[in-house]
Structure 1
Amino acid sequence: MLGLVSLAWAEQESPVETDEATGVTAELARLVGSEEQRIQAFYALRDFRPAWQDVDAVAALTSALHTLESDGLRPADYRPDELRARHRAVNEQQGSPAEQAQYDLFATRMLLTAMAHLQRGKVDPKSLDTGWEVPVADPDFSLAAVSSAVDRQRFETLFSEVRPDFVPYERLRSGLARYRNIERLGGWPRLPERERSLRLGDVSDDVVLLRERLAVIGELEVMAADTDAFPGVELEAPDPRRFDSRLEAAVKRFQRRHLLEPDGIVGRQTRAALNVPVERRIDQIRLNMERARWLLHGLPDAFVLVDIAGYRLSYFRPDGEVWRSRVVVGLPYRRTPSLRSEITHMTVNPTWTIPPTIRRNDVLPQIRRDLGYLERENISVLSPSGVRLDPREIDWSNPGNVVLRQGAGPQNALGRLAIRFPNDHLVYLHDTPAQGLFAREQRAFSSGCIRVENIRELAQLLFDDTNSGHDIEARIASGRTQEVSLARRMPVVIHYWTVNPGEDGELSFRPDIYERDDELLRALDRPLAL
């Protein structure tokens, strides 16, 4: 939404029209009916007065459109060169009022399209993911303020006010500028492919390349600047060919930022991450800025954000604090969906009705091998109406539509707690008896739902922050299965980020576990048809 300064511009008087402009005004009133609603509203607010007769206004617009490269968009989509050329041609040939009106509509279309893309994204996420559940909102900006800004040639101000106003987006934007500068300086060296890993104590020319690679992105600078953060690490001038403790610590930091096992050894996976070209990293930043434009608008002060590819949950609390935890997400063939919803209630000591896919692919094969599996896992066999059945009387080669339900308890697949929110995919946040999985760096092991480390702490914070008046530990200790509502709903956003800006501004690049990046990049770079 445009700010008070912009709205103040809109209150000032419009420029006086010339006779020539009056003719163009009449043509605009005649032609604008075939344009989209936003353009019609824009000209109606101006009483159909033309916006682009001044060559300086066109020059300022085209200059501003080129700056959209800093947001990962393609300036060419908004035709800055064509805008200049067509304006020059219309004026040199003393174009008719109809030709001038057609040009005016074209320039306005380019400006409003650029603003819409900057605020909400160029690519429709539903075109890439049929299961997309985040509402796709229409652009939200004041056309009166846009009109006033056009008259005063304040295009960069317009862009700054529709750009997502969220710190992570600005960090991505800064990171894009930084990596583009690295590209201009020649990128970084590539490590030769070797069977043998590089590790502490090694002496070779490959170590020299490794130092250069980490120095380009500042990993070694961080080491030198913060001696307290790396106790016992050598910080004197190193032998460039020797893999010393300082270099090992820098490798571990790189590995943590790329969700690799932080062992300080440059093995196959770490070498592959080091050798990703800077051009590819730039593309990753750009496409994650597009994801941010889909999502980072209209967010309340308090909400829960699940970062699928980063295996993290962040709860932005009403008091400004942020509670964070590790999560386990869906396997690549059982993907956790992107969605936006609201947490309504929790199930304490839940039972688990085994979903059809897991029942068919995971549980039935176990039962067929050993009927004792049901007792060991506390699974009851029920009819569709809920009547308990004797598993010995079921033909497990063709069990029909029997229901399998795991009883509440510490070994239940949902643990002791499930946090619920409406969605078409039937996913939720939940506890788990498999706590050891949280120690892994990459944690795509679930069947689509999200397992949360320390979920009881999250639940209590949600109860406290919504004035719900519940004690989660007391509820669990009762042993009873019960539904407990929040007094006030809490927004939850589940989304997929393969680049994440840390609080220090450093970018973390994550594996594209669901292989979504390439398709989005192709869509983002596809020339815009207008």
Structure 2
Amino acid sequence: MTVLSPGRANDGENQTNVIRQSLQEQLAIGESLSIQPQPDWSLLRQVYANYDYRPLWHTPFGQLAEAGTALKQYIQDVAGAGLEPALYQADNFSHLLDNQPQQLAREDLLLTDGFLRLARHLAEGQLDPAAVDPLWKIPMERIDSARLLDQAVIGLNPVSVLESLNPRNHGYQALLRALSDYRRIASEGGWSPLPEAPLLRPGEQHGLVPLLRQRLRTTGHFDAPSPATDVLTYDPDLQQAVERFQQAHGLKQDGIIGPQTRAALNVSVEQRIAQIESNLERWRWLPQQLGDRYILVNIGGYLVQLVEHDKVRLESRSIIGRPMRYTPSFSARATHLVLNPTWTVPRRIAVEDLLPAQRRDSEYLLRKNIQIQQREGDQWVSQDPAMIDWGAFNRNNFPFRLQQSPGDGNSLGRIKFHMPNPYAIYLHDTPAKGLFSHPVRDFSSGCVRVEGIQDLARQLLVSEPETISLFSDRLASRQSSYFKLPQPIDVYLVYFTAWIDPDTGVQFRPDIYDLDRPLMLSLRQLSPSQDKQFAHRETEPVSIAN
């Protein structure tokens, strides 16, 4: 074993050469070394060859340089960015306790591997979305981690380079703070699950009430003083706390502790942490720059937001695709509004929904103002529905095109956002406005119905008063027309099940498309230590007498 000679200035190059030799030796046999997680040896060989096998983070005298010290500390603190330090070799740093050249070379390699992996994970996410989410269609923006390493080494600023990759979006940063809060709750013991009990309504007395009060206090939904007397009474303060909790979990805000509310209360803190971590990963899959102005469709939250300079300027409730006709996560650019649109019925809806309805009721299509057309030569020719034997046709034999004329009953309502995409999914109005009052709104066949879509449209025209006047006139004409937006706007449809509402705090929603579980499992499998609990805790509910 070669030992570094005593530190003298003229010995610095000799000591560097000793570390260089050890770097070459370890790189040559890297795959056989017992290091977990396994470094990317192929990339490390390329990187160090480019630097003639010189240490990147150590001085010529074998001391950890200032940039190396800063990088090491950043990796050890990366839990604050929602990532696990062990993934970036943090646990292996503690095993390097002496100044032997082999140890110094190993530390240099681990720091470089940690930087390269962390850069990718911050900019691209820890996982390839194509491998864990079949509904994710937003293109990935790839980075050149080796080029970023060059910037960090030459500029002696690895932390600044990594910080520049961390998503700066307010929604991501706010969710990070929520993750910190829930980790603190977990470190303090979390909360106890509520036992099975009959429906509990405001004003009633039950032994469950003190436990319910404590459960809601733990997550900040209940902040009133506990009553000195009548501790078993479900009082107005507790009712307000329950309704806040219900709002934050997409439940009917009636203050009643029924099966759905109890189930949400009993999701463990570990599961909520995993849910937050999964949604942070989705943020990392998004492009670094979403633009100064864009529309965000929160699929899992049934919301549409107009975002300007990272602030929500307008928020509307929405209706999204049901699980069998899902709304995928994708991005598109809206260029036009279609006013008083005609609806050309997608073939799937025509054969699965409208054909059976027409068989049951021979006037169904007529009442819906839907015209039937059949191709004759190179033209579509209108057909009389009364002259068609609908029983003779099925999903494999349906030669018709169905089109619904503009009007109050048109399924697209009065406005459709024209945003070309391969999925034939659009933002549009709807005549069925009563559906927006439901807490769970997965009623569509994939498109996104937007409550108050005229307000959203006018916000996009607000800088040009004359344009708004023309828009209003054309909308009132009841004639179908295209209306060009003054500026095209990017639209991002993203499946979130946890996010932050600036007024009400952290929001959780059920995983209606069953996309959280595989994402949670894959994130868990990345961890060198897989002892986290991501499922509901198996703790027995405490027994409460009525």
For 1:68 and 1:505, locate their aligned partners in 2 and report how far apart those are by CA, in whole Å: 27
1:19, distance to aligned residue in structure 2 (A): 2.8
1:147 aligned residue? 153
1:107 aligns with 2:104: no
Q: Tell me which of 255, 261, 264 is aligned to 1:273.
A: 264
For 1:43 and 1:59, locate their aligned partners in 2 and report how far apart those are by CA, in whole Å: 23
1:59, distance to aligned residue in structure 2 (A): 6.4
1:119, distance to aligned residue in structure 2 (A): 2.6
1:21 aligned residue? 16
1:234-269 Cα distance to aligned partner (Å, 9 max, x none)? x97563211011111111111011010000111110
- The 3 A distance-change label for structure 1 pair 504 and 393 is closer
Which deviates more from structure 2 when the two are superposed, residues 307-316 or residues 164-173? 164-173
1:183 aligned residue? 186
1:408 aligned residue? 406
- The 3 A distance-change label for structure 1 pair 17 and 210 is same
- The 3 A distance-change label for structure 1 pair 345 and 47 is farther
Alignment of 1:367-446 (within 5 A): 367-384=358-375, 385-399=379-393, 400-446=398-444
Alignment of 1:119-130 (within 5 A): 119-130=123-134
- The 3 A distance-change label for structure 1 pair 66 and 395 is farther
SS of the aligned residue for 2:133 comes to coil
SS of the aligned residue for 1:422 comes to coil
Question: How many residues end up aligned between the 2 structures?
Answer: 491
- The 3 A distance-change label for structure 1 pair 468 and 84 is farther
- The 3 A distance-change label for structure 1 pair 238 and 492 is farther
- Matching residue's letter, 1:422: P
Q: TM-score, normalised by structure 2?
A: 0.82
- The 3 A distance-change label for structure 1 pair 465 and 309 is farther
SS of the aligned residue for 2:372 comes to strand
For 1:121 and 1:108, locate their aligned partners in 2 and report how far apart those are by CA, in whole Å: 18
1:421, distance to aligned residue in structure 2 (A): 1.0
1:310, distance to aligned residue in structure 2 (A): 0.8
1:197, distance to aligned residue in structure 2 (A): 0.8
2:301 aligned residue? 310
For 2:108 and 2:256, locate their aligned partners in 1 and report how far apart those are by CA, in whole Å: 60
1:232 aligned residue? none
For 2:407 and 2:46, locate their aligned partners in 1 and report how far apart those are by CA, in whole Å: 62
Q: Tell me which of 80, 83, 93 is aligned to 1:70.
A: 80
1:215-245 Cα distance to aligned partner (Å, 9 max, x none)? 1111121x57xxxxxxxxxx97563211011
- Matching residue's letter, 1:206: L
What do you get for the CA RMSD once the two structures are aligned? 3.1
SS of the aligned residue for 2:176 comes to helix
Q: Tell me which of 212, 215, 219 is aligned to 2:214.
A: 212
For 1:371 and 1:428, locate their aligned partners in 2 and report how far apart those are by CA, in whole Å: 30
1:127, distance to aligned residue in structure 2 (A): 1.5
- Matching residue's letter, 2:142: D
1:326 aligns with 2:317: yes
2:171 aligned residue? 168
Judge conservation of contact 1:179–1:282 (CA < 8 Å) in 2.
yes
For 1:281 and 1:42, locate their aligned partners in 2 and report how far apart those are by CA, in whole Å: 41
1:44-69 Cα distance to aligned partner (Å, 9 max, x none)? 4x675321444645665444323222
For 1:405 and 1:247, locate their aligned partners in 2 and report how far apart those are by CA, in whole Å: 52
- The 3 A distance-change label for structure 1 pair 187 and 236 is closer
Q: Tell me which of 114, 117, 132 is aligned to 2:136.
A: 132
For 1:528 and 1:250, locate their aligned partners in 2 and report how far apart those are by CA, in whole Å: 36
Structure 1 residues not aligned, in runs of 5+: 1-15, 225-234
Judge conservation of contact 1:72–1:287 (CA < 8 Å) in 2.
no
For 1:171 and 1:319, locate their aligned partners in 2 and report how far apart those are by CA, in whole Å: 12
Judge conservation of contact 1:42–1:144 (CA < 8 Å) in 2.
no
For 1:486 and 1:472, locate their aligned partners in 2 and report how far apart those are by CA, in whole Å: 10
- Matching residue's letter, 1:242: T
Judge conservation of contact 2:345–2:403 (CA < 8 Å) in 1.
yes
- Matching residue's letter, 2:218: V
2:350 aligned residue? 359
Structure 2 residues not aligned, in runs of 5+: 1-10, 29-39, 529-546
1:395, distance to aligned residue in structure 2 (A): 3.1
Judge conservation of contact 2:319–2:441 (CA < 8 Å) in 1.
yes
Identical amino acids, percent of aligned pairs: 37
Q: TM-score, normalised by structure 1?
A: 0.84
For 2:319 and 2:328, locate their aligned partners in 1 and report how far apart those are by CA, in whole Å: 13
1:358, distance to aligned residue in structure 2 (A): 1.0
For 1:257 and 1:166, locate their aligned partners in 2 and report how far apart those are by CA, in whole Å: 21
1:491, distance to aligned residue in structure 2 (A): 1.0
- Matching residue's letter, 1:146: A
Judge conservation of contact 1:341–1:423 (CA < 8 Å) in 2.
yes
Q: Tell me which of 288, 306, 316 is aligned to 2:279.
A: 288
Judge conservation of contact 1:468–1:487 (CA < 8 Å) in 2.
no
1:463 aligns with 2:461: yes
SS of the aligned residue for 2:380 comes to coil
- Matching residue's letter, 1:75: P
Judge conservation of contact 2:338–2:483 (CA < 8 Å) in 1.
yes
Judge conservation of contact 2:169–2:310 (CA < 8 Å) in 1.
no
1:139-184 Cα distance to aligned partner (Å, 9 max, x none)? 37844441156x57x64x5543322112222211111111111111
1:490 aligned residue? 489
- The 3 A distance-change label for structure 1 pair 427 and 105 is same
